[in-house]
Amino acid sequence: MCTLFSKKSTLCLFATLLLTIGNTYSQDITPAEDEAIVKVTVSSIDGKPRKKDEITFISAKSGKTFKTITNTDGKSMILLKKADKYDVYYNNLNEKEKVQQFEIPQSEGKYTLNLSLKYDPPRTITLKNVFFDTGKASLRSESYAALNDLFDALKMKPEMIVEIAGHTDNVGSKSANQQLSEQRAVSVKKYLTQKGIDSKRIIAKGYGDTEAVADNDSNDGRQQNRRTEVRIVSE
């Protein structure tokens, strides 16, 4: 099953149940009687393995969260409870994108499920819950949680290079907006580098009011235009 999230993001999920006999499991994973092994394979739409991708399963019964991270071949394994449904997410830098629900049946004996995910995340992500003081480049404390998630994602993918793009609405002069957008991008970069991300991996750039995504004639439109984006340069 494939889902088109946008022109830039498509995700497909395929699941098959493979019944196994005896101890045909990885030596690193031993399921209990009420558990199944889920072997996860993650790739791009054109079939390239997606390494170091974090896949999250949230139980419909308990609400508990289970996470697994793919290896260099785009593969991983995880133990999940039988007779439960799980919402499946992949980590899209500082937020999670839901795939769909994945069900593990209640079947006797030991068995393995193969779960294959195919997706191409968008190359540009608007950072949610990142705020600055009005007319300034200083980050507000409520931004730290979202930026910490971005830090974790960048730390997990040490080869990734990103651009932090600052944007403003059209209130004020173009030169002032350009300067403010640059300073805000630099503030985000500084936060990430101070936590340990190599500065060479982050490009900070301001675009002022030149790349509006909404009408500047309304408060809501101006709010949408005042944004900070992460643009993936290379992975």
| DSSP codes, the chain | -EEE-SSS-EEEEEEEEEE--SS-S-TT----TTEEEEEEEEE-TTS-B-TT-EEEEEETTT--EEEEE--TTSEEEEEEESSEEEEEEEEETTEEEEEEEEEE---SS-EEEEEEEEEE--SEEEPTT--B-TTS-PBPGGGHHHHHHHHHHHHH-TT-EEEEEE---SSS-HHHHHHHHHHHHHHHHHHHHHTT--GGGEEEEE-TTTT-SS-TTSHHHHHHHS-EEEEEEE-
Cα–Cα nearest to 123, from 16, 44, 19: 44
Tokens for 81? 């409870």
Tens-place pLDDT, residues 183-228: 999 999 999 999 999 999 999 999 999 999 999 999 999 999 999 9
- One-letter amino acid at 228 equals T
Q: Considering the chain, tell me which residue range(s) the CATH 2.60.40.1120 domain(s) occupy.
A: 2-120
Spatial contact of 73 and 49, defined as CB atoms under 8 Å apart: yes
pTM: 0.82
With pLDDT > 90 as the criterion, what percentage of the chain qualifies? 74
Position 48 pLDDT exceeds 90? yes
Q: Which CATH superfamily is domain 124-234 in?
A: OmpA-like domain (3.30.1330.60)
Enumerate the CATH 3.30.1330.60 domain ranges in the chain, comma separated: 124-234
Res 37 pLDDT > 70: yes
d(CA 234, CA 161): 5
- Identify the CATH homologous superfamily for domain 2-120: Carboxypeptidase-like, regulatory domain (2.60.40.1120)
> Can you give the pLDDT at residue 28?
67
Instruction: State yes or no: pLDDT of 169 exceeds 70.
Output: yes
134-166: pLDDT as tens digits: 899 999 999 999 999 999 999 999 999 999 999
